Amino acid sequence: MSINNKKVVVVGGSSGIGYATAAMAKKNGADVVIASRPGQRLESAAKALGIKAVAADVTSDEAVENLFRETGPVDHVVVTAAVLRTGPIKTLAIADAKATMESKFWGAWRVARFSTINAGGSLTIVSGFLSVRPRAGSAIVGAANGALESLVKALAIELAPVRVNAVSPGMIDTPIRAAMAEDARRALLKQLADALPVKRVGLADDIALPIIGFMENGFATGSVLFLDGGGSIA
């Protein structure tokens, strides 16, 4: 099933995996809309891609409802939006743990709640490797990812014939780590790359590719694809 002329909304499309997905969908002929929080980042991304942007903060019920009121029914929706606050359970403020869930889990829930997806279309949620390869200090993110991976299976039943899937990336080099000092970021990515069978970390396009695949593959629903350069077996 080609996505040529299909309407695609990428929530989190201003950066990283979402941006790469929007660019790839556009290249494949789709009519693409990106959404993220209001601001310059969203506007610059839309300009660079030559597509429409709608400002929508996924932590707001009203904003997500407005987004899909504005787009109307669509064929494919992708959710990559998230800002994660992490730390050890004994020191991470409860408010920060809740903010992570609010953004990553409830954000995706709101998108599923308020979007209208045409029959045979798809919803793809990006989760992440911490659901199956937990790390000390990131329990809240692993929990959010695990919840999303369960959610897509339930929604694949409930929203059928709309198809619902998740892509769970390993370590991907995106602006998500922009707050780190550049030297430390490079050192971390090199260390992680050396430990992987593929000897590199992922690129945003590595994850955009299977997201487009989930849109195009009419047999895919209730699936969680772990794509991690072999991280889960290393």
CB 10 within 8 A of CB 195: no
Residue nearest to ligand NAP (CB): 16
Scan residues 152-171 and list those touching ligand NAP (CB under 6 A). 169, 171
Interface with ligand NAP, residue 86, by CB under 6 A: no
| Span interacting with ligand NAP, options 87-95, 111-119, 173-181, 186-194, rule CB under 6 A | 173-181
Examine residue 134 and say whether the peptide bond preceding it is cis (omega within 30 degrees of 0).
no
Question: How far, in Å, CA of 188 to CA of 10, rounded?
Answer: 29
Question: How far, in Å, CA of 89 to CA of 125, rounded?
Answer: 26
CB of 35 or CB of 156, closer to ligand NAP: 35
Type and span of the H or E element at 111: helix 106-114
Query: Quick one: which of 25, 74, 78, 128 contacts ligand NAP (CB under 6 A)?
Result: 128
| Closest distance to ligand NAP from the beta carbon of 118 (Å) | 23
| CA nearest neighbour of 85 among 141, 145, 38 | 141
| Span interacting with ligand NAP, options 23-31, 66-74, 80-88, 182-190, rule CB under 6 A | 80-88
Interface with ligand NAP, residue 174, by CB under 6 A: yes
Query: Quick one: which of 92, 132, 139, 176 contacts ligand NAP (CB under 6 A)?
Result: 176
Interface with ligand NAP, residue 126, by CB under 6 A: yes
Eight-class DSSP state of 167? E
Strand, helix or coil for residue 197: coil
Residue with tokens 């793809």, as numbered in its chain: 124
Scan residues 5-64 and list those touching ligand NAP (CB under 6 A). 12, 14-18, 36-37, 39, 41-42, 57-59
CB 77 within 8 A of CB 124: yes
| CA nearest neighbour of 27 among 7, 58, 49 | 49
- Which residues of this chain interact with ligand NAP, rule CB under 6 A? 12, 14-18, 36-37, 39, 41-42, 57-59, 80-84, 103-104, 126, 128-129, 169, 171-172, 174-176
